[in-house]
Structure 1
């Protein structure tokens, strides 16, 4: 099994044919999910999803849910579902420059895997539950081989990253370009993030009910949704439009094996991703992931759930509310023997790399058994030990040389009214630089300043979380006061002693 950095965009020198066409390698975690059509023995493309490990895919529950189903665990033993990896252009087209370019860039065959199990979130109840908890985890029968064209999205397991309104998320899929033409290749869009409360407040017509507690939105309310391709969610009053784009046949190859010309085909079905008036995509098939860039890696943040039929807003299931549920499957299928690898943990301030390499490994990257990873600290963090490393042991366990390597440093201390002296372990430290935890700072008012409210000299301590244990106070200027009684001046007057006029500047 080949392991790769998660959330990586593997783009080589390519010619951009149209501005909304995805560059090969820009969404390597994107997958197509197919279901067997018993009427014609073809496989229909029903939804999208995102790879998070060699044998796990995350998608939307509505892609698999049926009214009255007795269990949210769907065991697959009849090859009724397949998942395709590394798809860029659709099946069944004539060979074009795009096909040739794709083959030249990566030389990666499309991989098609059977499904072993589909787990729907137990809280998902379809339209009657307003599509709350619309998330599913797909377990593959075999492991996909990671390559330049196929690699997982990162997952923010520890909730380290925050997203604010207006942040741009990446989404890829098949559908119509901005010209309204069915695209034979993947399209890409950047959609602005809209938080849960802001999205709900946009609606007063009842659609806000679908913005459930585990949702956020992305897109623009100013773009009309008339005639726009939709996710096949199956809503009633607020259901998606059925203006969809057919997906043509593709060769039914399994991994690198030659196609079985007599076997079932991946055939025409509807899977649309489009928005009019946009430079790229705005709509996506159900389950398609939206990712946001953090520390040069793309993190899976949401899954397409519901689309507003009246504008270009898409509602996403926010995976942060389901992270423990997902992690349960991840630990079972990754950490306990099925795949003998370790997951690089998200540790604030820590950066990882392989020995002898300058390439940074993303948090969440899968590391092979017995592989050693070097640990260093980000800028602004103090490295407590000169050398840090961790080794991947059996069952996904790590052996680390230290419990905590990187400590956030305290901000510099500067003041117009204070004299500040810093020291660390009895040695001088520059108060104008970032300061190491356990640095002490002694503060007192400068001459001609007085401490407020009777405060006197004080001492601050830099804590391990990168903050000072106390706030700096400001001293009050002590202006215009004569400090001693006047005596004899110069030139037949009384002489002025030092301190009589502290504000006076003499030019000599």
Structure 2
């Protein structure tokens, strides 16, 4: 018999859900156990817990009506100041194959599970969006891909008592090479079959996929999908109803002798015929999905259709606005965004009456009209160095790239006589002295540059 850690029968009866991240963008400490005060909580075979000892663990609550107090349903782990990692079955409606039609809330820094009992320093949030793999369908697919991310309505204030858990994004540390004993915390049932009001912990032995299948019942082995591993011990310590969604973490000593906890599994399903074995979603099998989904929450512009950022070195982006609101488009821009650009120092538009240029992010994800080129001006260029030969120094080729020679055209095409110099001020305009050409030559066609 299969028993979801979260009470499946109750969930099926009440759920009616609707479908609503190597990487923290900000750098925070992670996975450091911390105790603010020492308490004597209940013991569930595994051992005592201390207030704030597991600062990454959060409580997930659900309510259907505004006049109800939310009910605790699952645990979760802080992955990012705005993102919680939990199990998909915590928020999924098996009957309607959709997200539960309810309001979800998260409390970080929680020790006593009661919604009405506030803990010192706790932080409360509403769940804004829920994301889980499209292929997750609960029991129908043996609870494969039982993983979900919850986007909060505001960022968590990270402290030494509330912080993210560590994730081995680059798969540098194999769980088999870490301690074989992992730690799980939660507000699940105790050995007396009563719901604990205080946060409990248990130490469980990691059991890989192949060994797990040899140690569990034939019926339960059906639910050990390729994205799971098992954990448990023989002394009766086990995860129970209420522990779903919590993270199984393993310690690793850092170079500065600091112990940090890395999350490798999420409490998923349990074999009730042998109550010491549970299956955990192996996040190593979901790192690509986690990475992409986390980024879609923390850096959504990466996934939106947008015009590329301006790259020419001659431009400076002065401002961007979308529907009258100032926006940042240094990394790209949404359709309809209007940008004002001006030429950088030592460049100019070629017109004294046009100090800037404008463009709009249009269909086809292109900036239109295409920004005019900013012209380089007044920079000496040296192709090679030549020693001066006479009183006037001989200049190198192209050293003064704005200077031109003005010629008088004779009757033949090759009959040209230099008459004076000039200066380029625009791709189609040269400035020169008036007197030499005005009185001697009246027709524009007589000249060549």
- Per-residue displacement from partner, 1:130-185 (whole Å, max 9, x unpaired)? 10111111111111111232111011101111123971111111134456665331
Alignment of 1:92-241 (within 5 A): 103=120, 108=121, 110-164=122-176, 167-178=180-191, 182-203=195-216, 205-220=218-233, 222=234
CA deviations over 1:90-139 (Å, ceiling 9, x no partner): 33788xxxx9xx74xxxx2x211111111121121111211011111111
Aligned to 1:4: 28
Deviations 1:457-476 (A, max 9, x none): xxxxxxxxxxxxxxxxxxxx
- Between the aligned partners of 1:189 and 1:140, the Cα distance in structure 2 is 28
Q: Which residue of 2 aligns with 1:80?
A: 103
Deviations, residues 335-367 of structure 1 (Å, cap 9, x unaligned):
4689xxxxxxxxxxxxxxxxxxxxxxxxxxxxx
Query: Secondary structure of the equivalent of 1:5?
Result: coil
Indicate how the Cα distance of structure 1 residues 131 and 143 shifts in structure 2: closer, same or farther if over 3 A, else same.
Answer: same
Structure 1 residue 41, shift from structure 2 partner: 2.1
1:39 CA drift (Å): 9.0
SS in 1 for 2:211: helix
Q: Deviation digits for residues 375-434 of structure 1, max 9, x if unmatched?
A: xxxxxxxxxxxxxxxxxxx98xxxxxxxxxxxxxxxxxxxxxxxxxxxxxxxxxxxxxxx
Is 2:37–2:51's contact at 8 Å kept on the other side of the alignment? no
**Match 2:78 to one of 51, 61, 68:** 51
CA distance in 2, matches of 1:93, 1:289: 25
Q: Aligned-residue CA RMSD in angstroms? A: 3.2
Instruction: Report if the CA contact (8 A) 1:89-1:185 is conserved.
Output: yes
Secondary structure in structure 1 of the residue aligned to 2:250: strand
Listed as ranges, the matches of 1:449-468 within 5 Å are: none
Report the counterpart of residue 37 of structure 1 in structure 2.
Answer: 64
C-alpha distance in 2 between matches for 1:92 and 1:122: 31
* Match status 1:306 vs 2:269: yes
Change (3 A) 1:282 1:191: farther
Whole-Å separation in 2 of the counterparts to 1:281 and 1:189:
8
On the 8 A contact 2:41/2:198 being kept in 1, the answer is no
Greater Cα offset, 188-197 or 288-297: 288-297
What TM-score do the two structures reach when normalised by structure 1?
0.48
Quick one: distance in 2 between partners of 1:203 and 1:18? 29
Q: Return the alpha-carbon distance in structure 1 between the equivalents of residues 64 and 137 of structure 2.
A: 24
C-alpha contact 1:187 1:281 (8 A) present in aligned 2: no
> How many residue pairs were aligned?
270
Q: Do 1:170 and 1:290's aligned partners in 2 also have CA atoms closer than 8 Å?
A: yes
Give the match's secondary structure for 2:218. Answer: coil
Counterpart CA distance in 1 for 2:294 and 2:100 is 18
CA distance in 1, matches of 2:272, 2:284: 26
**Considering only CA atoms, is the larger Rg found in Structure 1 or Structure 2?**
2
Q: Distance in 2 between matches of 1:13 and 1:48?
A: 22
CA distance in 2, matches of 1:134, 1:88: 25
* 2: CA distance, partners of 1:2 / 1:195: 33
Compared CA separation, residues 70 and 315, structure 1 to 2 (3 A)? closer
Cα distance in structure 1, aligned partners of 2:115 and 2:84:
25
Distance of 1:334 and 1:2 partners within structure 2? 10
**1:316 equivalent in structure 2:** 280
Structure 2 match to 1:442:
none
**Alignment partners' CA distance in 2, 1:49 and 1:62:** 12
Aligned to 1:138, what secondary structure does the other structure show? strand
CA 1:203–1:190 in structure 2 vs 1: closer, same or farther (change >3 Å)?
A: closer
SS at match of 1:121: coil
Where 1:331 maps in the other structure, the secondary structure is helix
Unaligned runs of 5+ in 1: 224-276, 339-393, 396-508
Q: Could you tell me which of 87, 90, 93 is aligned with 1:63?
A: 90
Q: Which residue of 1 aligns with 2:251?
A: 293
1:244-290 CA-partner distances (Å, limit 9, x unpaired)? xxxxxxxxxxxxxxxxxxxxxxxxxxxxxxxxx44x86665221111
- Would you say 1:14 and 2:38 are equivalent positions? yes
SS at match of 2:222: helix
TM score, norm. by length of structure 2: 0.54
Distance in 1 between the 2:100 and 2:73 partners? Answer: 18
Change (3 A) 1:55 1:13: closer
Cα distance, 1:210 vs structure 2: 0.3
1:27 to 34, 46, 54: 54
* Alpha-carbon spacing, 1:281–1:125, altered in 2? closer, same or farther (3 Å): closer
Q: Decide which moves more: 13-22 or 142-151.
A: 13-22
- Give the deviation of 1:328 after TM superposition: 0.9
Alignment of 1:294-373 (within 5 A): 294-295=252-253, 296-311=259-274, 312-335=276-299
Mapped partners of 2:201, 2:97: distance in 1: 37
